[in-house]
Amino acid sequence: MVHCFTDQPQHRRPDPRPRRAPSVAGAIGLALILLSHPARAQSAPLPAPIASDADRLNARDLFDKGLELQQKGRWAEALLAFQRAQVLFSAPTNMLHIAQCLAQLGRLIEAEETYHGLASLALPKDAPAPFVAAATQGAAELQQVQALIPKLRIEVTPSGIANLTVTLDQQPVNLLLLDTDRLVDPGSHTVKALAPGYAPKEAVFTVREKEARVVVLALQPLEGVAPAPVMPPAAPVIAPQPAPAIAPQPQPQAAPPVDAMPNAPRGMVRVTFVTAGPARSWSVLDGERTLCTTPCTRIQNPDVPVAMRLIEEGLLKDRVTLLGADLRPYGPGPLTVAVHPRSDLELVGGLLATTFGGIGQATGIPLMSVGCSQNDTTMCRAGVITTAVTAFLLAAGISLMVDAGARLEVRPATVAVLR
């Protein structure tokens, strides 16, 4: 295994084995000691961290154990040791080795995300030298990992099949992502396509690092069964939505089991994303990059906006943006973010109420104006009553349409899982 540093032009997997130079190990231990006892440091004292002395000592022991396991190539065990050390005491050195172990385990997308978190850290000017070195090394290894991540394009023929369902490794694929490149981890993957009237199609394949793979699923009609119609491409048209039938209130999605790491690192928030309503999957996004699908739990920076989007084919898609200000008042968590989908029933009711309210206003105001100006008591009174009643109806309709939109509910959580 060759070490990967910034002066190497080749795109190689970052070598996570710790350097054997005594100065690095001693510097890391010295940094933890200085943070544990800032009064003994010769430089300006650092702000006292929240972690206790016992937590810092245990974090240092776990870090040393992780280095030993990493040197032996026992990546999964080393990853667990570094993750536990990070929970006890958040440090850039922990994050660097977590990302390296993830990369060696083939979990390149998670490794890239961890490298991004390391690069986004704002270190103080007097940060220990090992912390600064870890951030610098992480920035260099981030580019190397990004170059290794494979790309996958899924194509289904014939195109435009109605009621098509596509899954990748048993997870639903948004049909808008068909015929486009998406990032995947190297290794074995399974793609399935289902549609009424067609025989199911499945492809099992292996993707290598840096590979760009195209998988084509050609669906064949079943004999004696009319296949689903192929919808020709058309310009998007937003049609009125009919009022849905009233159904029993669905139960919210259950939160996953409790994870082995109960607390988020300092400055981060542990957030469980669930759906409160029909059991439909929502994607949690960072920009346009999908982080996970509900239900899932993440260690989230409260200052970084996160969006949630409904995974469902169609022209109208719910999308709600979760701003950092929504998380900060709750402290370090853990928190639960429940997304409430758009209520089509309230939306249709609001449209009807607004329509009739507007018609009433158009009728009542002229009646009131003409009747009152001509001293026609009956006409004037009818206009006043009509205007007042329809004004209330108009306001109620607008309120219904506003409340019908998708919304997020943030509340303290008692259970969470890191996925």
The values of phi and psi at residue 248, to 5°, are -60, 145
pLDDT digits (tens, 9 = 90+) for 143-153: 999 999 999 99
- Which pairing describes strands 335-340 and 407-412: parallel, antiparallel, or unpaired? antiparallel
Residue 207 has pLDDT above 80, yes or no: yes
Alpha helices by DSSP H, listed for 17-170, are: 22-36, 53-71, 75-88, 92-104, 108-119, 129-148
Read off the pLDDT of residues 338-349 as tens digits, 9 standing for 90 and up. 777 777 777 788
- Is 90 exceeded by the pLDDT of residue 73? yes
Q: Tell me the pLDDT of the chain averaged across its residues.
A: 75
Residues in the chain: 419
Output the pLDDT for position 402.
77
As a dihedral over the C-alpha atoms of residue 135, residue 137, residue 139, residue 143, rounded to 10 degrees, the angle is -160
Name which residue leads in pLDDT, 258 or 269.
269
CA proximity to 188, closest of 177, 210, 203: 203
Q: Model confidence at 200, in pLDDT bands (50, 70, 90)? A: very high
What pLDDT is recorded for position 62?
93
Q: What angle do CA 343, 349, 352 make, to 5 degrees?
A: 140
- Please tell me the predicted confidence (pLDDT) of residue 74: 94
State residue 315's pLDDT score.
42
Angle at 134 between CA 129 and CA 140, to 5 degrees: 130
Among 358, 339, 313, residue whose Cα is nearest residue 405:
339
Strand-pairing partners, residue 388, are none
Which pLDDT value is given to residue 411?
73
The mean per-residue pLDDT over the stretch 48-71 comes to 84
Q: What is the mean pLDDT of residues 61-71?
A: 94
**Which residue is it, tokens 């084995």?**
17
Task: Find out whether 306 and 322 touch, Cβ atoms under 8 Å.
Answer: yes
Q: According to the per-residue pLDDT averaged within each range, which of 45-54, 74-83, 215-224 is highest?
A: 74-83
How far apart CA 51 and CA 44 sit, in angstroms, is 20
Choose between 385 and 41: higher pLDDT: 385
Report whether pLDDT(3) > 90.
no
Alpha carbons 366 and 383: distance in angstroms, whole number:
7
Residues ≥6 apart with Cβ < 8 Å to 65:
81
pLDDT confidence bin for 35, thresholds 50/70/90: very low
Choose between 215 and 263: higher pLDDT: 215
Contacts of 10 (CB under 8 A, 6+ apart): none
**List of E strands, 195-334:** 201-207, 212-218, 269-275, 282-286, 289-293, 296-300, 306-310, 319-322
Give all domains of the chain, ordered by start, each with its CATH number.
Answer: 22-147 (1.25.40.10), 151-218 (2.60.40.1120), 250-419 (no CATH)
Within 8 A by CB and 6+ apart from 61, the residues are: none
> Which of the pair, 193 or 284, is modelled with greater confidence?
193
Q: In whole angstroms, give the CA distance from residue 95 to residue 253.
A: 32
Q: Which residue has the higher pLDDT, 102 or 235?
A: 102
Q: pLDDT category, 18, cuts 50, 70, 90?
A: low
Which pLDDT value is given to residue 318?
A: 58
Which pLDDT value is given to residue 319?
59
198: phi then psi, degrees, rounded to nearest 5: -125, 150
At 323, is the pLDDT very low, low, confident or very high (cuts 50, 70, 90)?
very low
Check residue 45 and give its pLDDT.
37
pLDDT at 416 over 50: no
Range name among 111-115, 210-214, 284-288 with the lowest pLDDT average: 284-288
DSSP state of 161: B
Return the pLDDT at 107.
Answer: 93
Output 14 or 38, whichever has higher pLDDT.
14
